[in-house]
Amino acid sequence: MPELTASPLPAHPTEDLLQTLLDVSHSGLVLLMPVWGREAGAAPIDWVVQRLNPAAQWQLGLSAQPHTSLLQRFPDAGQDGLLYFCHAAYAAEPPRPFTTRYLPAGFSTELMLSAQRSGEQLVVSVFAPPGSAPDAPTVPGAAEQQPARHPSEATSIAPAWAWEHQQMLTRNEELQAQNQQLHTTNHTLRAATAAAEEAQDAAENARALLQSVLAQAPVAIGLFQGPDQVIAAANEQLCAMWGYEASQVLGRPLLLAVPELRNQGFAELIAQVARTRQPFVGTELPACLRHNGQLVTRYFNFVFQPLLTAAGELLGVLDIAIDVTAQVQDRQQVQNLNEELAATNEELRVTNEELFANNAELLQAQQELKQLAQVLEDRVQERTGQLREALEETEQQRERLREQQGLLRQILWQVPAAIATLNGPEHRYSFFNASYQALTGGRTQLALTVAEALPEVLAQGFVGWLDEVYRTGQPFTGTETPVELYNPTTGQLELRYIDFIYQPLTDNQGRTTGILAFIIDSTEKARSRTAIEASTRQIRLMSDALPVLISYLDQEERYRFANRAYETWFDIKVDELIGRSARDVIGEKAYAGVQQYIRRALAGERLSFDARMPYREGFVKHIRTDYIPDIRDGKVEGFYSLVSDVTEQVKAQQQVATANEQLRTTNSNLDALNQQLRRTNVDLDNFIYTASHDLKSPITNIEGLLHALTEHLPAEVISEEQVQHILELMQHSVDRFKRTIDYLTDVSKLQQEYAQPTEPVALAGVVEDVRQDLLPLLQEADAHLHVDVAGCPTISFSPKNLRSVVYNLLSNALKYRHPERVPEVRISCQRTAEHHLLQVQDNGLGLDESQRGRIFGMFQRLHAHVEGSGIGLYMVKKIVENAGGSITVESQAGEGSTFTVAFPLALTEHA
């Protein structure tokens, strides 16, 4: 046999080969590209159908490049598992084939699907048994774009892979645009979600408002929902009727929360209202409930009202109830008395029947007496005695009945409640007690109708209510109902408030014959309640206006009252804060700081304390707090809390403490500097004294030598102008040197005279002495001197030093006068709490800012055109400061200066 050898495959373009394989394949092949969502890591949200071979086109009724997605072609792909199958095959690592069966909408038989990831695409193989093609094209234009055909009938398709790749890129850009639209839609959905959350918040606010209404309603209110009649809402009045706390019943089925109601018919009535959507009104129905740990029977007027939505759907059954036990018991007492009266009447009727029977027997006996007179005489007498006793008993019973009726009227007359009975449909008075007569101003009379006796109540609806009770036979109850009644004394209508019940009175056949009106004047109670409510509002307004935190906490450490200041501190509405625990509101860290004080306050101890409260990050307060326990009947019910913010005070104290510490440090440094300065001053004084003393002899010698030189020089030499000028300069220098030594000597003496003895000195006399000394200078300058020292008759100071101070200041004012105006000098003195203030004011040359800082320095001469040593003001400053005083200057260049000397008051002058 000849050997067969396989010839190599001819070179063939990969694109052509791939196209040929797709065209001749009997299996449908679909190329999918994922569409990704906006969120990172999310699964594909859809798949773009990029390309189909002829078999897949025939099987799915699509064109080769349909420009559609799976969800557009198969809208149920997200629910029937097709998308999940594609996601699972695409996410497999490493890539491997996935197979499943799939029945699209519009197909008669299932398709066999096999898928595997290839790069960024998903390849899906579709096998459809014959006859399983779609019943009709489901994509508009699909039938026209690609008529159904069998793979064997498919013709060759020219290679167009590169062109199709470009089309894929274009389609991908379109999908990205669609993805952006999806993102926009997602943003819209988020906005809708935010709106829904706002609606939910509004619903929560409405629920909070409903809870507030329930809590403040004057009647018992509850809401039952569902077939188990779950208690969705119940205010304090309803919970008190049941004998349970709200926390024990809310959210629980009615019969589980209040088991005492079982077998009493209320659950069945609620179920009936829920089923029929018709309200049920109960009047004076008894209920056996818990009260102080025991079962007691109470009576209630109530309404079971179906609560429906705007669409007519049942939300639950609303229960509104009023406890009428007291009214029922009062009426039952009256009914019992009536029953006793009826029983007495029945006994009388029986007695009368017996009497009639006895009379018949007597007639028969009389007939027999004719025949047996003697024989029966004794028996007749006996029976006559019995008859007499029966008559006496009957009369006694009638008397007891009259006494009982009188007692009943006496009781009703003295009852503090207003009671009246009204007969017939006209409501005519058949009885009224003193309280009723007092309430109506004494205007009621027997046989009058209510409209006749009290015409003002006709327009107020009371007669209408009486008519309704008489017509229906159902009682009517009013609580704190306003009524305007005419007062004969004042001639005016007065507003009253009454609690009342109109109870129908019936005969033996149940027909209404009249009405019992039972009325309690609740005017004072209503006014008190109104006053309390007004007072509560005022307290709320005042507490809200105070810049402190005011609250009340119960034994469970929960807020029962809080003013508006809490909203600023804790960013929570007061209505939302009520009922929350202190730990929850102020935070764990802050609670740990006051927990011990809270426990002590709840134990009955009154506390005042300061604390640092780290309420939350970035919000720390220093507080001053008072806890005042609320003790009632020896039991601590809770405590009042008053919290003041002292943060700024604490910070100020801390700043003061820091400043004090800095001041202590500064003072310590100043003490050291002062000690050093004193040592320096002592050294300087010693130097000045030594220098002035040691320089006197050399200067004296120089002056002597100068005189000797003058005497020994020939006359013709001395007469020379230049020699004479030099000698004058030398003498002038010696004189200046001597004056300087004298000044230094004065300064040294001033330092040594640090503590001169003081005595009361007449200031006016000192000023006058100085004026006399400076009189030539005053006249030369043509100066005007004004003296006003009456405010300081005497100054406690050294007389010599005081004269030196006044002399220097006045002489300076005259020497440094302004050349262009007449000198004006004012000397004045005033006394303050601590000092005598001496002022010397002039209109001279004045000082600029730089000169003011040097004016009191030693050897400082600021105006060279006037002779001076430059130590005058320095000596004045030393004299004043050595005595514990001070000197200051206020000056403007070209305008003048004001020197102020503060002399300290002597100890005796302080007294």
For residue 827, give the nearest of 816, 837, 841 by alpha carbon. Answer: 841
- Give how far Cα 743 sits from Cα of 302, 680, 802, 877, Å: 114, 19, 19, 15
User: Residue type at 540?
Assistant: R
When pLDDT is cut at 50, 70 and 90, the band that residue 162 belongs to is very low
- At 766 the three-state DSSP class reads helix
Q: Does domain 756-910 bear CATH number 3.30.565.10?
A: yes
Q: 660 or 841: which carries more pLDDT confidence?
A: 841
CA atoms within 13 A on the CB side of 27: 13
110 near 133, Cβ under 8 Å?
no
Which of the listed ranges 123-132, 189-198, 213-222, 603-612 does the model predict with the highest average pLDDT? 603-612
Which pLDDT does position 268 carry in this prediction?
Answer: 93
Q: Which fold has domain 546-645?
A: Beta-Lactamase (3.30.450)
pLDDT at 902 over 90: yes
When pLDDT is cut at 50, 70 and 90, the band that residue 165 belongs to is very low
Q: 12 or 99: which carries more pLDDT confidence?
A: 99
Q: How far apart are the first and last CA of the chain?
A: 153
Indicate yes or no: pTM above 0.85. no
Q: Are strands 784-788 and 824-831 parallel, antiparallel or unpaired?
A: parallel
Q: Which pair of tokens denotes residue 229?
A: 């009649």
Q: Which CATH architecture fits 217-323? A: 2-Layer Sandwich (3.30)
pLDDT at 252 over 90: yes
Query: Residue 123, Cα to own-chain centre: how many angstroms?
Result: 63
Containing 743, the helix (H) or strand (E) segment is helix 721-752
Q: 594 or 724: which carries more pLDDT confidence?
A: 594
- CA atoms of 802 and 792, how far apart (whole Å): 13
Question: Range with the lowest mean pLDDT among 181-190, 755-764, 848-857?
Answer: 181-190
For residue 44, the 8-state DSSP code is P
Q: Are strands 418-423 and 512-521 parallel, antiparallel or unpaired?
A: antiparallel
Which pLDDT does position 409 carry in this prediction?
Answer: 61
266 near 247, Cβ under 8 Å?
no
Question: Range with the lowest mean pLDDT among 202-206, 268-272, 472-476, 617-621?
Answer: 202-206
| Other CB atoms within 10 A of residue 678 CB | 10
For residue 581, the 8-state DSSP code is B
Q: What is the mean pLDDT of the chain?
A: 79
- CA atoms of 203 and 807, how far apart (whole Å): 92
418 near 436, Cβ under 8 Å?
yes
Q: Which pair of tokens denotes residue 762?
A: 């007449």
pLDDT at 164 over 50: no
Which pLDDT does position 726 carry in this prediction?
Answer: 81
- At 855 the three-state DSSP class reads coil
Cis peptide leading into 94, omega within 30 of 0?
yes
Tell me the sheet residues that pair with 621: 613
Secondary structure E strands in 530-575: 549-554, 559-562
pLDDT at 171 over 70: no
For residue 884, give the nearest of 795, 768, 794 by alpha carbon. Answer: 795
When pLDDT is cut at 50, 70 and 90, the band that residue 556 belongs to is very high
Q: 34 or 859: which carries more pLDDT confidence?
A: 34
Q: Which CATH number fits domain 14-183: 3.40.50.720, 3.30.450.20, 3.30.930.10, 3.40.50.2300?
A: 3.30.450.20
Q: 157 or 854: which carries more pLDDT confidence?
A: 854
Backbone angles phi, psi at 161, to 5 degrees: -60, -40
Provide the phi-psi class of 61: left if phi over 0, else alpha when psi is between -120 and 50, else beta. left
Helices 799-815 and 872-882: crossing angle in degrees, nearest 10, is: 150
Q: Domain segments of the chain: what residues?
A: 14-183, 217-323, 325-414, 417-533, 546-645, 647-752, 756-910
User: Residue type at 798?
Assistant: S
Q: Could you report the per-residue pLDDT of 655-695, keeping only the tens digit for each?
A: 888 888 888 888 888 878 877 776 766 666 666 666 655 66
Query: Residue 283, Cα to own-chain centre: how many angstroms?
Result: 44
- CA atoms of 243 and 648, how far apart (whole Å): 50
**Share of the chain residues as helix, strand and coil, in percent rounded to the nearest 5:** 50, 25, 25
For residue 3, the 8-state DSSP code is P
Q: Could you report the per-residue pLDDT of 207-251, keeping only the tens digit for each?
A: 555 555 556 666 788 999 999 999 998 988 899 889 999 889 999
Q: What is the mean pLDDT of residues 313-323?
A: 89
Q: Which CATH number fits domain 417-533: 3.40.50.970, 3.30.450.20, 3.50.50.60, 3.40.640.10?
A: 3.30.450.20
Which of the listed ranges 748-762, 807-821, 841-855 does the model predict with the highest average pLDDT? 807-821
- CA atoms of 457 and 454, how far apart (whole Å): 6
Q: Could you report the per-residue pLDDT of 332-388, keeping only the tens digit for each?
A: 887 777 777 777 767 767 766 776 676 677 667 566 656 665 655 666 577 677 777
Which of the listed ranges 411-415, 473-477, 684-688, 794-798 does the model predict with the highest average pLDDT? 473-477
805 near 879, Cβ under 8 Å?
yes
Secondary structure E strands in 426-511: 428-432, 476-487, 492-506
699 near 738, Cβ under 8 Å?
yes
Torsion of the alpha carbons at 696, 698, 704 and 710, rounded to the nearest 10: -130
Containing 371, the helix (H) or strand (E) segment is helix 325-414
> How long a stretch of residues is the chain?
911
Q: Could you report the per-residue pLDDT of 76-107, keeping only the tens digit for each?
A: 887 778 888 888 888 887 877 777 777 777 77
**For the chain, percent of residues with pLDDT exceeding 70:** 73
847 near 816, Cβ under 8 Å?
no
- CA atoms of 792 and 833, how far apart (whole Å): 13
Q: Which pair of tokens denotes residue 431?
A: 């009885």
Backbone angles phi, psi at 779, to 5 degrees: -70, -40
pLDDT at 185 over 90: no
- CA atoms of 190 and 625, how far apart (whole Å): 47
Which of the listed ranges 257-271, 672-686, 740-754 does the model predict with the highest average pLDDT? 257-271
Question: Range with the lowest mean pLDDT among 30-44, 49-63, 728-742?
Answer: 728-742
Query: Matching CATH topology for 14-183 and 756-910?
Result: no
Q: Could you report the per-residue pLDDT of 601-629, keeping only the tens digit for each?
A: 999 999 999 999 998 888 888 999 999 99
pLDDT at 133 over 80: no
User: Residue type at 829?
Assistant: C
User: Residue type at 326?
Assistant: A
Which pLDDT does position 150 carry in this prediction?
Answer: 40
- Give how far Cα 619 sits from Cα of 587, 588, 592, 649, Å: 11, 14, 16, 16
CA atoms within 13 A on the CB side of 437: 12
Q: Could you report the per-residue pLDDT of 401-423, keeping only the tens digit for each?
A: 666 656 656 666 666 788 999 99
Greatest pairwise CA separation for the chain in angstroms: 214
Query: Residue 319, Cα to own-chain centre: how many angstroms?
Result: 33
743 near 783, Cβ under 8 Å?
no
Q: 701 or 621: which carries more pLDDT confidence?
A: 621
For residue 290, give the nearest of 242, 354, 334, 326 by alpha carbon. Answer: 242
For residue 429, the 8-state DSSP code is E
- CA atoms of 587 and 592, how far apart (whole Å): 9
HEC-encoded secondary structure of 162-222:
HHHHHHHHHHHHHHHHHHHHHHHHHHHHHHHHHHHHHHHHHHHHHHHHHHHHHHHCCCEEE
Helices 799-815 and 763-773: crossing angle in degrees, nearest 10, is: 50
- At 716 the three-state DSSP class reads helix
